[in-house]
Structure 1
Amino acid sequence: MALIHCDFFSEVLGVSTSMYVILPQATKNQIGMEGRTIRSKHPTLYLLHGLSDDHTIWLRRTSIERYVAPLGLAVVMPAVGRSFYTDMKNGYRYWTFISEELPEIARSFFPLSDKREDNFVAGLSMGGYGAFKLALRCPDKYAAAASLSGALDIVNLVKNAAEPMASEFYNIFGDPQTVEGSDNDLYYLAQKVAQSQGPKPKLYQCCGTEDFLYQGNIAFRDYCQKLGLDITYEEGPGQHEWGFWDKYIQNVLKWLPL
């Protein structure tokens, strides 16, 4: 594998930002690991971080580079701050960045496939929300999406937040009463995709049974199943922590339709 720390300028954000990129490399002589490539334009997983993290976190807390080496899968890990992958009311346009600009920039730098069947997105917590939002708002671009302990019921999280998080949510989403039924509401997006005649991404969802987001994850799973969406759900003992995510990202990689 090749690991690249890429600093670049974002026209959408108006500032320089960063991403880590893992690129497949066919190798036979590495001790303890064999790399693989499966085509000249690599299938790609956009791997999203959580609220208190940045683009380095998946590399620092898991063995993601080792996990993807035999798969021939590229991984793009961008930095988005505490944005909830949203064009913020008071802040940067991170939704436009992550959904439009980032894939174009990454493909201009690296040999990444632009085919829907080769593009996937996953994330933890805030990144789980971002992953499902990307796949459900852009079902023509992503074949599959995975949420690990995702903050999926954003409507209730925003409405019931106490300070200082309530003010932070206001700066991200604006008036809490406007979130429900908007393009930031995963329930609304799931229903919209289910009722459409267009492509529908495969969904994977997992959560620890002791996680404070567990009940919200169960509710969203049940809603997607009721809509008839293709969703795979797993759970197990665990809280909102990296031991759980390091284990289940391996399940995500096995599940991806590569």
Structure 2
Amino acid sequence: MALMSITYYSQVMDLDLSVQVLYPDKGRVENPDDTDIPVLYLLHGMGGRDTTWLRLSSLERLVRKTNLIVVMPDTHNGWYVNTQYGYPYFDALAIELPAVLQRFFPHMTDKREKTFITGLSMGGYGALRLALETSRFSYAASLSGALSFKDFDPRTESLGNTAYWTGTFGKIIDWESPDNPHSLINLAKTADKDTKMYIWCGEQDFLIGANDFAAQSFKDLGYDVDYQTAPGKHEWYYWDKQLEVVLSWLPIDFQLEERLS
């Protein structure tokens, strides 16, 4: 895969943003001149950035023979929402970034059925939020996602102080902010139920309760949800293994390198 690091001016944010892009190489994929290449948006978690998936996972090795564009944007710790403190990350990533990338990569698909999104932890919330609130993504996956704050107060988990959470979401614990992760369930009630979901969480992860609640809520609303749990913590060892599962789940010709039996 060709790796491109792009810095571009975001009119929405009024600042420069960065994005990493993996693009199929000639000689490694079967259709290098395809003019409708599928695209996967891959979102980082809290404390991460646009390079985190590249540094801490097997991503590049996994997709090196697959005709797939992988886009890794940077949202800082902004939760992929239009924050209360003034930075509209949701608009920048859900609306502006796809248009920017289409100018850079005209062979990147603009079809919903070939556009996918995945994220971990904060990015798991972001992936489902962007999929539910736009009509852009047909498949959305969350790994150890912060999908609800039901029975969980983030202020007690050393994940930021009250000022940070209020600045991001508003009155987060009072459920008054429409951006609150718990509000994903309300958002899903009116969203396009054609979006297919894959949700995974480790059984020892502090977010397992939130994932149990969210996955069942989505199923009750009629979504096609593949919910999986297994022994695991909130760690990259497990997310790296799940990345291969997600790539196999997507409707792409995933060309994993052959292994000796």
Decide: shared fold, TM above 0.5. Answer: yes
Q: Say whether residues 1:225 and 2:219 are aligned partners.
A: yes
Q: Is the 8 A contact 2:169 2:177 kept in 1?
A: no
- Partner deviation per Cα, 1:146-190 (whole Å, 9 max, x = no partner): 000000004665x66248432211000112266457254211112
Q: Is the 8 A contact 2:78 2:89 kept in 1?
A: yes
1:13 paired residue number: 13
1:66 paired residue number: 61
2:131 paired residue number: 135
One-letter identity of the residue aligned with 2:171? D
Instruction: Within 5 Å, give how 1:202-221 maps onto structure 2.
Output: 202-221=196-215
1:255 paired residue number: 249
One-letter identity of the residue aligned with 2:58? S
Q: Say whether residues 1:50 and 2:48 are aligned partners.
A: no
2:88 paired residue number: 93
Q: Say whether residues 1:190 and 2:188 are aligned partners.
A: yes
2:165 paired residue number: 169
Identity of aligned residues (%): 39
Write out the 4+ residue segments of structure 1 that deviate beyond 3 Å after TM superposition.
Answer: 34-38, 154-157, 177-181
Say what the alpha-carbon RMSD is for the aligned residues: 1.9
Structure 1: stretches of 5+ with no match in the other structure = 28-33
2:71 paired residue number: 76
Q: Is the 8 A contact 1:24 1:36 kept in 2?
A: no
Residue 71 of structure 1, CA deviation? 2.3
One-letter identity of the residue aligned with 1:218? D
1:106 paired residue number: 101
In the alignment, the residues of structure 2 paired with residue 22 and residue 53 of structure 1 have an alpha-carbon distance, to the nearest angstrom, of 18
Seen in structure 2, the aligned counterparts of structure 1 residues 160 and 16 have a Cα distance that, compared at 3 Å, is closer
In the alignment, the residues of structure 1 paired with residue 58 and residue 86 of structure 2 have an alpha-carbon distance, to the nearest angstrom, of 33
Q: Is the 8 A contact 1:209 1:235 kept in 2?
A: yes
Give the secondary structure class of the aligned counterpart of 2:178: coil
In the alignment, the residues of structure 2 paired with residue 178 and residue 95 of structure 1 have an alpha-carbon distance, to the nearest angstrom, of 22
In the alignment, the residues of structure 2 paired with residue 177 and residue 192 of structure 1 have an alpha-carbon distance, to the nearest angstrom, of 23
Q: TM-score w.r.t. structure 2 length?
A: 0.88
One-letter identity of the residue aligned with 2:121? S
- Partner deviation per Cα, 1:82-115 (whole Å, 9 max, x = no partner): 0010111114110100110011101111131111
One-letter identity of the residue aligned with 1:188? N
Q: TM-score w.r.t. structure 1 length?
A: 0.89
